[in-house]
A and B are shown apart, each in its own frame.
Chain A
Amino acid sequence: MSDQRNINLLFTALGGLVLLFIIAPLAGLFFSTSPGNIIETSADPEVQRSIWLTLMTSMAATLCFAIAAIPLAYLLAKRNFRFKRLVLGIIDLPIVIPHSAAGIAILGFISRDSAVGQFASMFGLNLVGHPIGISLAMAFVSIPFLMNAARDGFANVPIRLEKAALNLGASPLRVFFTISLPLAWRNIISGLIMMFARGMSEFGAVIIVAYHPMITPVLIYERFGAFGLKYARPVSVIFIVVALIFFIALRLLSKENKNAGNQKNN
C-alpha cells in the first residue's frame, strides 16, 4: 500500500515537472508583458491583418482538404488494399520531415515553373506569396492530424451497423453519410480542430512559401528580428490567446455534438 503511494507520489512529481515546463514559459511571457502594451499592439492594423490571415488560411486549408481526406481515412479504416501500409506511411511523412524542408518542397511544387504554378497563372495567380500558397503549406504539415483522427473514428464504427444499414436497403454512399460519418464525427471534429490549430501555428514551411502576406508566426519572427524580444512579446501573447480561444471554443462545440463514439454501442 505504501509502495503504491510512493510510486504515485513519484509519478505525480515527474508529471508536475512536465506541466511546469509547459506552463512556466507561457506564464513568463504573459507576466512580462504589460496590459497597456497588449492593448496597444492589438490595435495595430498589421497585427490584426496577420491574425485574420492566419485564421482564414488555416481554416481554408482544413475545410478544403477535409473533403478529400475524410473519404481517404474511411478507405484506410475499412478496406484492405495493396500498398495500404505505404499509404499510411506517406500520410505520416509530414510529421517527421523538417518543416523548412517541407516549405522548400511546397515551393517547388507551386512555383511558376511547376505544372501547378503554370495552371494557377492561367487564372492570373502566383501561388508563391499568396494566401493559397500559405494554405497549401499549412495543409501539408497539418493533414496527418486530421487523417489519423478520422481513420481511428471510422475504425471504431462497428461494421455490423454498416451492414445492418445496407441490409435495410441503404446504398453504400447513404450508409457512409448516415451511419459511418455520424458515428465517427467526434474523432473527425477532433482531427479538424487539431489540423486547424497545427496549421495556424506553422512557421517553417510558410515562411519559405510566403514571407508576405505575413501570418502571425512570421510577424512574431519579424518583430523579434527587427525590434527585439520586447516587441515580439505582445504579438505572441495576443496570438496565443486567440489560438486558445479558438481551440477551447471548438473543443466545447465538439463535445456538445451528440456522437455515438461515447455512447453505448449496441
Chain B
Amino acid sequence: MLEIKKITKIYKEFAIKDFSINVEKGDYFMILGVSGAGKSLLLELIAGLIKPDSGTIIFEGEDITNKNIHHRKIGLLFQDYAIFPHLSVKDNIAYPLRLKKLSSAERNKRVSEYAEKASISHLIHRDPSTLSGGELQRVSLARILAMEPDCLLLDEPLSSLDVQLKEGLRTLLRKLNREGLTIIHITHDFEETISLANRLAVIHDGTIVQQGTPKEVFQYPGNEFVAKMTGIKNFFKTKLIKEPPDNNATALINENIKINLLSEEQNCEGHILIRRRDIIISESKLQSSACNNFEGIITETIPQNTGIEVIIDIGVKFFVLLTELSFEELKLGEGKKVWISFKASSVRFIKN
C-alpha cells in the first residue's frame, strides 16, 4: 500500500537517511525511536508537508513523492493537534466535509457520526480554546477521520495523555485499525508498540535499524541500540484469566503454559513482559517464593557486554541474563536441562 524507497531528507537539525519501509493495507505500523530520531520528519514527508531530497514514496501504486499535500488523502494527526482556533469544534470536524459537495443535513449527520466515534459529541458546540489537551486531540482525530483518509499518520498521539485517556484512545485506534484503516504511528514508547503494532520499525539517527513484527524485533533485537530501546526480550502474547475462587491472575501462553502474575485486569488478551534479569536458573526446582517454575532446555548461550544471555526453551523461549560467574558455577551449556523461576510480581501485563 505504502512503499517508501530510500528516502533522504536533511531538514534543520533533523535528518532521514536512506529510509525504506513497506506498509501493507490494514497494517498498524509503528515507528519506534527516541526523541530527535527523525520520526516526525518522516511523517511530514509521507503527508507531503515537506519534500524529500531524494528517494520515492509510492502510495497505492502511484508515485506521490512530489504530489501536492491536498491531493494525497493521507491524514496526519499532528502532535500539537493543529485545531483551527477560529472555528468551533463542529466546524473543525466539518472542515474536510465542506470540500465534498454534501447537503448541509448530510454534513451535519456526518459531523455527528465522527464526533460520536471520537467520543466528543458533548463538545460539538464548544470553542476549542475551552478544551483540554485530551479533548483537543479527539477533535483533531474526528476531523482527520472526517476526511476519510486512505492511511492515517499519528505523531506521538498518546504521549501527552494521562493513563485513563491513553487507554481510551488506544482502544479507539485499535478499533479503527480493525475496521480496515491503515495506520502509521510514531512513538518512543515500546509498551505502546506492543499494545498496538502488528509491524514496526525501529529508527535511530534517521535510519531504520530494524523492522519486523513486535515479536521479531523485541525477542531478537538486531543490535545493541534496539535491545536498549526495547529493553525487553521475554515478550509473549497471552490470555489473562482470573480463576475462582481466589481470583488469582494467570496468563496463558500457547494455551498450555500458565504464568502466575499480579494484575487488576479482568479476563482479556494482551502481552506479558518479564525482564531477563528477573529470572533465576537452577539445576532443580527451587523451593522459594517464586511461583512460576518451569523446566526447559538451554538452546543457546550468547556472551554479552553485561554477562551471558541464556536462551531456555520451555515450550516458548525464555531469555535469561547471568553473570559469567553464575554461568560457570552452574556449568551451563547448550542442551542442558535446567529450571527457571520468577516471581508473579516480576511479570508485567499489557492489555491489548
Contact = CB atoms under 8 A, between A and B. Distances in A.
A168 B74 CA distance: 8
Interface stretch (B76-84, B115-123, B190-198, B226-234): B76-84
Contact of B78 (A160, A258, A263): A160
Nearest to A160: B82
A166 B78 CA distance: 13
Interface in A161-189: 161, 163-172, 174, 178-179, 182-183
Interface residues of A, number: 25
Contacts of B80: 160, 266
B331 interface: no
Contacts of B143: 168
Q: Is the interface of A mostly helix, strand, loop or mixed?
A: helix
Question: What is the size category of the interface that chain B forms with chain A?
Answer: 20 to 34
B59 to A, nearest CB: 14
Contacts, number: 75
Interface in A216-264: 258-260, 263-264
B136 interface: yes
Contacts of A167: 47-49, 69-70, 72, 74-76
Contacts of B48: 167
A179 B82 CA distance: 12
A34 interface: no
Given A160-B78, A165-B95, A266-B128, A183 B86 contact: yes
Interface in B77-130: 78, 80-86, 95-96, 99, 128-129
A260 B82 CA distance: 13
A265 interface: yes
Among B70, B78, B143, find the residue whose CB has the most chain A CB atoms closer than 10 A: B70
A164 B69 CA distance: 9
B144 interface: yes
Given A160-B78, A167-B47, A167-B75, A182 B86 contact: yes
B147 interface: yes
Contact of B84 (A165, A166, A174, A258): A165
Contacts of B49: 163, 166-167
Contacts of A174: 99
Contact of B70 (A158, A172, A178, A264): A172
Nearest to B100: A169
A161 B48 CA distance: 14
B189 to A, nearest CB: 23
B86 A263 contact: yes
B73 interface: yes
Q: Most chain-A CB neighbours within 10 Å: which of B69, B71, B81, B96?
A: B69
A168 B95 contact: yes
Nearest to A265: B85
Interface centre among A160, A167, A174, A259 (most CB of B within 10 A): A167
Interface in B125-175: 128-129, 136, 143-144, 147
A266 B47 contact: no
A264 B85 contact: yes
A259 B129 CA distance: 12
B70 A170 contact: yes
Contact of B96 (A158, A161, A168): A168
Interface in B271-315: none
Contacts of B73: 169
A258 B86 contact: yes
Nearest to B83: A266
Given A161-B82, A163-B69, A266 B144 contact: no
A259 B84 CA distance: 11
Given A259-B86, A266-B83, A266-B85, A168 B144 contact: yes
A136 to B, nearest CB: 34
11 contacts: A160-B78, A161-B82, A167-B49, A167-B69, A167-B74, A168-B75, A168-B95, A168-B99, A169-B99, A170-B96, A182-B86
Given A163-B69, A266-B82, 10 more contacts: A161-B82, A168-B70, A168-B95, A168-B143, A169-B99, A171-B70, A258-B86, A260-B86, A263-B129, A266-B80
